[in-house]
Amino acid sequence: MTAIRRVRLGPRATRQTIEADGSIVLRSVQPLAPYPARLTERLEQWAERTPDAVFLAKRGKDGAWRTLRYGETLAAVRRIGQALLDRPLSADRPIAILSGNDLEHGLLALAAQHVGVPYAPISPELIASVQLQPGAPREGGSTSHGGRRGGGGRPPARRRHSGGGPSRRPGGR
């Protein structure tokens, strides 16, 4: 039998407050440590320190591993992130990723995070299961955008992303 390694999760000490409505709120007594503003700051950090180390890998149908290294992943994330901003996508115009668990899905998700574009991953298996249910919409069904493409309205101005953080519109958005 393989020994199970203990995992250090950090301090568990909390302060309990009972609110007027009866809800119980638990707060950590330990102050929040510094953390990155974006998850992809860690990708930037490791791409600088160990650009040739493997970051993502997937076994192909032939059994061979397909890998992406930190340096090439960051370069791809910056290119894809700029393409998202050129579309123009933003916090107001998110994306859905209809994809299985694949390297390209990972790159697109990281790029969206890198430039501040929200995304929703949608599994093809979920779509297939919904389509098999009685009463599920079929081809030619209604659309969430009233049948129009592009969402209407005037698109925001094109932006350029330098890779130094999420691109924001004037006014903090």
Confidence grade of residue 20 (pLDDT, cut at 50, 70, 90):
very high
Best-predicted range by mean pLDDT (23-27, 97-101, 129-133, 138-142): 23-27
| Residue 135: predicted pLDDT | 63
- Which one is predicted more confidently, 132 or 146? 132
Q: Which pLDDT does position 158 carry in this prediction?
A: 47
**What's the pLDDT band for 141 if we cut at 50, 70, 90?**
very low
Q: pLDDT class for 134, splitting at 50, 70, 90?
A: low
**56 neighbors 73 (Cβ within 8 angstroms):** yes
Out of 20-29, 128-137, 148-157, the most confident range is 20-29
Q: Cα 56–58–59 angle (5° rounding)?
A: 150
Select the more confidently predicted residue: 87 or 9: 87
Residue-range domains of the chain with CATH: 40-131 (3.40.50.980)
Mean pLDDT of 66-90: 96
Given a contact cutoff of 8 angstroms between Cβ atoms, the answer to whether 43 and 74 are in contact is yes
Q: Are 163 and 78 in contact, with CB atoms under 8 Å apart?
A: yes
Q: Above 90 in pLDDT, residue 81?
A: yes
Provide the pLDDT confidence category of residue 44 given band limits of 50, 70 and 90.
Answer: very high
The rounded distance, in Å, linking the Cα atoms of 6 and 21 is 38
Task: Judge whether 98 and 164 are in contact, CB under 8 Å.
Answer: no
d(CA 74, CA 80) in angstroms, rounded, equals 10
The yes-or-no verdict on residue 23 having pLDDT over 60 is: yes
